Amino acid sequence: MSNSVRHFVLTGDGRIREFSAEQAAKVAAGARLVPELADSKARYLQLTLDDEADAEIRVQSSGAAIRFDSEGRLQEAGPAQPEDQITGFEHDAVIQWVLRDRPQVGPTFH
């Protein structure tokens, strides 16, 4: 069992792209360009999964608004404004994507 962090960028046209931890760190440092996001705003979603408990998976999420320059270099990251909020549908879709390879276990409600 483990604790893992996953990184996602959600675009205004409905695309969701996952970045590895190494890729996300390089994008954040400006050392990796993302040309397909040049001159655009997007939303960033980070999921932390903790499945160290015997029959429970805990998911924590945090989001931000991000902006890229004309070359696709991360220009700005900050709190999401109301128009930049990650919808419940997008959030749930990303969580389902992350959990797709996990064994099926019934939900636990707290």
Q: What SS3 class is residue 89?
A: helix
Q: How confident is the model at residue 83 (pLDDT cuts 50, 70, 90)?
A: confident
Residue 22 has, within 13 A of its CA and on its CB side, a CA count of 0
Share of the chain above pLDDT 90, in %: 63
Quote the pTM value. 0.85
pLDDT of amino acid 102: 74
Contact between 49 and 97 under an 8 Å Cβ cutoff? The reply is: no
> What is the predicted pLDDT for the residue at 89?
92
Q: What is the pLDDT of residues 49-66, one digit of tens each?
A: 887 766 678 889 999 999
Average pLDDT over residues 12-39: 94
Tokens 């499945």, residue located: 51
pLDDT digits (tens, 9 = 90+) for 95-105: 998 888 776 65
